[in-house]
Structure 1
Amino acid sequence: MMKRAIGFSGLIAGALALAACDGMMAGGETAPELDIPEVEAGDLSEATMIDVTRELSSDEFEGRMPGTIGEEKTVALLTERFEAAGLQPGNSGSWVQEVPLVEITGSNFAPLTITNGETDLVYDFGSEWVGVTYREDAQTQLANSELVFVGYGINAPERDWNDYEGIDVEGKTVVILVNDPDYETPGLEGPFNGKAMTFYGRWTYKYEEAARQGAAAALIVHDTAPASYGWNVVESSWSGPQAYAARGDNAPPMTSINGWIQKEVAAEILSSRGFDLAELSAQAKTQDFEAVELGITASTSFQNDIRTFTSQNVIGILPGSEAPEEYVLHTAHWDHLGRCKAAPDGDDICNGAVDNATGTAALVALAEAHAKAGAASRSLVFLAVTAEESGLLGAYYYASNPVFPLDQTVGGINMDAFQVAGPAKDVTVVGPGKSQLDAFMNAALEADGRVATPNPKPEAGYYYRSDHFAFAKQGVPMLYIDGGEDLIDGGTKAGAAVAAEYTENRYHGPKDEFNEDWDWSGVMADLQLYYRIGRSMAMSSSWPNWNDGDEFRAIRDESCAGAETGC
């Protein structure tokens, strides 16, 4: 899991604060018109789950870092197991899709200097601001770039909202607030779904929109509550080597610098020109907000060391019997962190057993079960993606260079870190109420006698932080379901304790290791749910869409409108 701890690793917030849940249960749209076939339970192998998880997370695989011997061993194991399961190579006779990656490491960071008339405000890299470039330039230079405060930096025509209206930011540096304008709303009503973060609240969107507007740089104002993490997370995540998918021809525009500034820094910068950050932030929450030219400039520079290498997504397919050119997707990331900060005992291999050897093993187990059941009407695709921990890079690359056309991809399920603490009465739905896939999930839950618990912390925007998001951005409906919070043995209190132990002692550390004493019954129950959902989608004749008003609905509608086949 990339830069987060959620579900199994995020039960702390959810299990202890269900009263703060978003209140929107999965299935906000019942979609009675959908064709949702009943399917028999799958013949799922617990032995496969155990064996593949154990092997992938062994020290021999060295933490499965892309571009290392760990990747070579992982790709070899997955191709062997996919073939043995009965799949066919998914990429024109090949089991892999090559993913060109670029690693950029910044150095020699100059301070961020704000020129205000006769005086300069100077801010140190790391403690007061951070920034990176996505461009493959040896030197990054921002020189006397005019600053513009653009509120939340949102341009959402379907919500009648445009923070850039009437302002030209070409070549300028935009200052942007984190999250959505209505994030402080107690409930889920508002122009941007109240406290439930939308895509427009994520930093990824804000940087992309700034680039579309022609900005030279984009600086997001960090604030712990709306960001859902402290400055320490920003500083650690946005310093050191940064990996990106290589940009191909006709790539979208990019800013020269994307970065963050401390809230106190932003307040001081604005105050130097007679503006109050709190007052401007309040104005930015309204639809009639107008961007503010601050009358000051920003400058900084840094050098970049650039390394290119190729990683691999692994793809297997079980062709459909009646509609083989319609695809149901299953995704999980195979990578982890490689060698990392050593534990007190000297162990420096981040094995990634839970995160995400379990999800990768689930691809193999599901492939076996679907193959045993015989071909479904539609094709079933099993995609193990690389470089999730570096920013969903393998998923983004596939979504931008799909092996199977996205307008012929019905939808998908993403699996990231299974709970290994015994069975739960529920599952945690991340991003409930977004698409008609909820109806397929509800039918599977009913068949298995389980219930859905809503997203425990909608304001954190967890839906936008795992591999499924790369496909959602391209319009493909995707489900993301985590382990339950209400354990059969011990209830929510036990679930919170399990989550706390994992997050504090093992998440993204050397002690996320395989344990022979794990209770796999909860894993197998969740896997059965995934099997039913995927099988039902593959046997259906329906094309589920995003719900009305969802930020990805227009993208899917446009994609489908131009399709001769598929949706």
Structure 2
Amino acid sequence: MGDPRDFKFIGLCLAIGLAACGQQKTDEDKSAFSPAITAEDLAAHSAVLASDDFGGRPPSGPMADKTITYLVNALENMGLEPAFGDSFTQKVPLVSIEAAPDAVLRVAGDAQTRSYAYGSDMMVWTTRVAEHMAIKDSELVFVGYGINAPEYGWNDYEGIDMTGKTAIILVNDPGFATQNPDLFDGNSMTYYGRWTYKYEEAARQGAEGAIIIHQTAPAAYPWSVVENSWTGPQFDLVRPDGNAGRVAIEGWVQERVAQQIFADAGLDFDDLTKAAQTPGFKPMTMGLTASVAVKNSIETSQTVNVGGVLKGASHPDEAVIYTAHWDHLGEGPAVDGDKIYNGAADNATGIATVLEVAQKMAAAQKSPRRTVLFLFVGAEEQGLLGAYHYADNPITPLGKTAALINTDVVLPLGEMKDITVIGLGSSQLEEILADNIAVDGRSLTPYPNPEQGFYFRSDHFALAKRGVPALYLDTGTEHITKGRAFVAKAKADYVAHRYHKPSDEIMPDWDYSGVVLDARAIHDVGWTVANSDRWPHWYEGNPFRAIRAESADMRP
């Protein structure tokens, strides 16, 4: 991506010394933890939060309450103020919708009607809060990648009224499909490649249904992930309209099913897929209709976000946010007799990192110019729901939120020569980070598998898509003595054997020295922005730059 830097964002505090900025603090540090960022404190927080005593930190229930109490006590002991009025917690109302597995998708044409089974052929559901939802004889329209991106001069819906129709959509985006670096972002998945965007855009276009064609390579996961992920209760926020603004039916179909549907329509699936990868593609009515009905079981529940603030000395109405999700999966199917999904790397170590940054800032002799919010969001594992709720109900308007720094899945593998930036090339926050770590001889490295779209799969994204410049980091790629192969092997082992499994526990060989360096780095980025009068921006070509510009009048 061409990312012209329209100004070099270097905070004044780096030039004259961070301690010289802000207002003197007088509150005594009441915490038992060190005011410095230390490996011992990181390990201590992580060990408690990932212990069996915390039951895998589910989003609600007694073990959730225990986690929330731990976080609130930690923030209080640092001397931080409650983020939400007189409370450290923000209620997040949730609804779960579970579709009965007996749904049948029927696709009809002049010659015949075919039926497709739930699970093996397709997955369908509704996000609308209703016990029954259906589409009947809804006209199918192939809309290519289902993208409307003015900054790329691309509109797959151009010239068609989707009212009452169902969109059939390819997964990912044309850049990945063609590997053309000049088309979208080449191999790197853009926001427009995410399945979440495709359903949202179909709704904006007035469609009645939206069905994505699953293909393993562009999706970055096999059909089994689709089937397992959308089986059982699906959580969402409780919204005033009951999600009436979403399409009635959302879903996926297997690629073989799509090929058969296209053949029944007298269309060549491969030829049309290639056509959809070229500029000027036009949506195509298929001469077929779809019908499907879902029956839902609905329950409501509640989780919370936890937050503490360090009030800004001169501009308390402007904010910098640090985020880490506090929840994990709780208890689940036993593996080797263990049913507690502890979530040590995901995300006890991430929580510990933000707590350590908060501790250091709270103990500083001077308060920053802007307010700093330390936000521990709930229900991330259910779809970033706590983060989305905060985005809808922020304590500081998002237009006056200068930056967000997110920490999620931190592997303590020792000191690295680099820091991995997921979504490298997104915003000017990266320049601040690069300047800070350069003094230690470290550098920024892009995430090695950008086609997987991880930038869009963690909590910062809920605010990024509303325009807030966001930075999302990962453990580096090159150990200072053990090299790249060691790191690659350790990460692969974690994903294969511990990620979202009961075995994601504190490991005896973990080395927190590298986490200390990364925590100091993100501390310095946030402190720099919090003590500056400048506003980091998204780079040219980023899809969130225009959204940010809409709130420009809110910023001096």
Q: TM-score, normalised by structure 1?
A: 0.92
Instruction: State the distance in 2 between where 1:172 and 1:432 align.
Output: 38
Residue 221 and residue 139 in structure 1: after superposition, are their counterparts in 2 closer, same or farther (change >3 A)? Answer: same
Choose from 374, 397, 402 the match for 2:394: 402
Instruction: State the distance in 2 between where 1:53 and 1:313 align.
Output: 19
1:305 aligns with 2:297: yes
Q: How many angstroms does 1:517 deviate by?
A: 4.3
Choose from 355, 363, 369 the match for 1:364: 355
Regions of 4+ moved over 6 Å: none
Instruction: State the distance in 2 between where 1:160 and 1:451 align.
Output: 34
1:538 aligns with 2:530: yes
Determine the structure 1 residue equivalent to 2:231. 239
Work out whether residues 86 and 368 of structure 1, in 8 Å CA contact, stay in contact via their aligned partners in 2.
no
Structure ranking higher on relative contact order (CA contacts 8 Å, 6+ apart):
1
3-state SS, counterpart of residue 66 of structure 2 = helix
Letter in 2 for 1:347: D
Determine the structure 1 residue equivalent to 2:78. 85
Determine the structure 1 residue equivalent to 2:103. 110
Choose from 47, 52, 63 the match for 1:59: 52
CA RMSD of aligned residues (A): 1.8
Note the alpha carbon deviations across 1:337-385, whole angstroms, 9 max, x for none: 01122121x1100010110011111221111100111311111110000
Work out whether residues 116 and 272 of structure 1, in 8 Å CA contact, stay in contact via their aligned partners in 2.
yes
1:72 aligns with 2:65: yes
Determine the structure 2 residue equivalent to 1:289. 281
3-state SS, counterpart of residue 362 of structure 2 = helix
Residue 111 and residue 406 in structure 1: after superposition, are their counterparts in 2 closer, same or farther (change >3 A)? Answer: same
Letter in 1 for 2:355: V
3-state SS, counterpart of residue 512 of structure 1 = coil
Q: TM-score, normalised by structure 2?
A: 0.94
Note the alpha carbon deviations across 1:158-182, whole angstroms, 9 max, x for none: 2221111111111111100111122
Residue 246 and residue 299 in structure 1: after superposition, are their counterparts in 2 closer, same or farther (change >3 A)? Answer: same
Choose from 328, 346, 349 the match for 2:340: 349
Q: How many angstroms does 1:251 deviate by?
A: 6.3
Residue 391 and residue 33 in structure 1: after superposition, are their counterparts in 2 closer, same or farther (change >3 A)? Answer: closer
Q: How many angstroms does 1:276 deviate by?
A: 0.6
Choose from 31, 35, 40 the match for 2:7: 31
Note the alpha carbon deviations across 1:404-454, whole angstroms, 9 max, x for none: 111110011000011212111111111011111111111112133211111
Choose from 150, 155, 175 the match for 2:168: 175
Q: How many angstroms does 1:28 deviate by?
A: 6.5
Letter in 2 for 1:488: I
Q: How many angstroms does 1:294 deviate by?
A: 0.8
Instruction: State the distance in 2 between where 1:417 and 1:162 align.
Output: 35
**Number of aligned positions between the proteins:** 538
Letter in 2 for 1:88: E
Letter in 2 for 1:247: R
Work out whether residues 351 and 513 of structure 1, in 8 Å CA contact, stay in contact via their aligned partners in 2.
yes
Choose from 456, 465, 470 the match for 1:473: 465
Note the alpha carbon deviations across 1:276-295, whole angstroms, 9 max, x for none: 11111111112211111111
Please show how residues 425-436 of structure 1 align to structure 2 within 5 Å. Answer: 425-436=417-428
Q: How many angstroms does 1:143 deviate by?
A: 1.3
Please show how residues 12-23 of structure 1 align to structure 2 within 5 Å. Answer: none
Deviates more, 1:145-154 or 1:108-117: 108-117
Work out whether residues 313 and 386 of structure 1, in 8 Å CA contact, stay in contact via their aligned partners in 2.
yes
Unaligned runs of 5+ in 1: 1-21
3-state SS, counterpart of residue 175 of structure 1 = strand
3-state SS, counterpart of residue 209 of structure 1 = helix
3-state SS, counterpart of residue 543 of structure 1 = coil
Instruction: State the distance in 2 between where 1:425 and 1:252 align.
Output: 49
Instruction: State the distance in 2 between where 1:44 and 1:415 align.
Output: 15
Choose from 127, 136, 154 the match for 2:129: 136
Instruction: State the distance in 2 between where 1:233 and 1:28 align.
Output: 38
Please show how residues 112-127 of structure 1 align to structure 2 within 5 Å. Answer: 112-127=105-120
Residue 185 and residue 30 in structure 1: after superposition, are their counterparts in 2 closer, same or farther (change >3 A)? Answer: farther
Instruction: State the distance in 2 between where 1:534 and 1:524 align.
Output: 16
Please show how residues 66-465 of structure 1 align to structure 2 within 5 Å. Answer: 66-186=59-179, 188-190=181-183, 192-248=184-240, 253-344=245-336, 346-373=337-364, 374-465=366-457
